[in-house]
Amino acid sequence: MRFNLAGLFKPLKKDYEISGDRAEMRIPHLEGKITFMRPVKGPGNYAGVQEAINSAGLIAPTMAQTASLVYTANQNPNEVEFGEVLDILDTRWFWVFVGKRYVKNKGVYIRDNPAIVNGRLDLENESELQNKIEAGDKSVRFVPFGFKIGEQKASDLARNSYLIGLAGKEGAEKLAEISGRYNLKPKVWSLENVDKDEIGMSSLGGCYCEGSRLGVGSGCFYDQDGCAFGVCRTNDKGTNSLKN
């Protein structure tokens, strides 16, 4: 059966809201809605952008949440605010606050919103992460090695178990559809196996030295060009979730 991504998601007309003096972007996400707040934090390194978001009383976005944001922006590029989102996607990258622990000969544990301690990403050890999964903690997932990395077709990206682990099934499908805005096929950067446990962060962007493509990356903790929009702690109007 042919896998057709075109029009996979058809948002209702004006199925989003930009309000609060143009600061709040309330968009569809999974079965509900989520509010991102402007201005964008960054560009800066992973820890600095996360700290700026937390200091504003907001939550650092996951890959699934960022996928919904860039998907909505791509569907509605004439909105000035969404144009800013696409410009960051095309010319810099988004930090997505998902940590990864690679385990030798096994796979990768994926953890939403890991803490930063003493300027370093702080991720639980393998047994602690596995216990969270067994306890039903949806913020932690495990993906065994064998997933496809490197350049791939959009249909492969949508089914990529690693990307599904990062963004969820819907998020992976949205990113696969967004990849069509670029000239080259999308590409996934990840470790294939490791000699010892390795910890990494995640990023999403469309501008790389080898050409224009959607890239699901890891990034370096100290890279300075990443950005992110904070997420409100409530699904009500975004200003209600900010610190006084």
The predicted pLDDT at position 119 comes to: 76
Give the range of the structural domain holding residue 101, as residue numbers without chain letter.
17-241
Task: Report how many domains make up the chain.
Answer: 1
The whole-angstrom separation of Cα 43 and Cα 40 is: 8
Beta-bridge partners for 29: 32
The predicted pLDDT at position 237 comes to: 45
Question: What's the pTM?
Answer: 0.91
Both tokens assigned to 218: 């890891």
Residue 75 lies in a domain: yes
Residue 2 lies in a domain: no
The whole-angstrom separation of Cα 46 and Cα 96 is: 9
The predicted pLDDT at position 210 comes to: 64
Residue 12 lies in a domain: no
Residue 182 lies in a domain: yes
Q: Measuring CA to CA, how many Å separate 126 from each of 24, 98, 173, 189?
A: 38, 16, 28, 22
Q: Measuring CA to CA, how many Å separate 36 from each of 41, 95, 137, 228, 233?
A: 11, 14, 24, 10, 10
The predicted pLDDT at position 19 comes to: 92
Residue 195 lies in a domain: yes
Query: What are 92-115's pLDDT values in tens digits?
Result: 999 999 999 999 999 999 999 999
Low-confidence ranges of the chain (pLDDT < 50): 1-3, 12, 236-244
Residue 199 lies in a domain: yes
Residue 206 lies in a domain: yes
The predicted pLDDT at position 225 comes to: 87
Residue 101 lies in a domain: yes
List, as one string, the DSSP characters of the chain.
Answer: -----TTSS-PPTT-SEEETTTTEEEEEETTEEEEEEEEEEEEE-HHHHHHHHHHTT-B---HHHHHHHHHHHHH-TTSHHHHHHHHHHHHSEEEEEEEEEEETTTEEEEEES-EEETTEEE---HHHHHHHHHTT-TTEEEEES----EE--HHHHHH-HHHHHHHHHHHHHHHHHHGGGSSSPPEE---S--SS-EEEEEEEEEEETTEEEEEEE---TT-S-EEEEEE-SSSS-GGGGS--
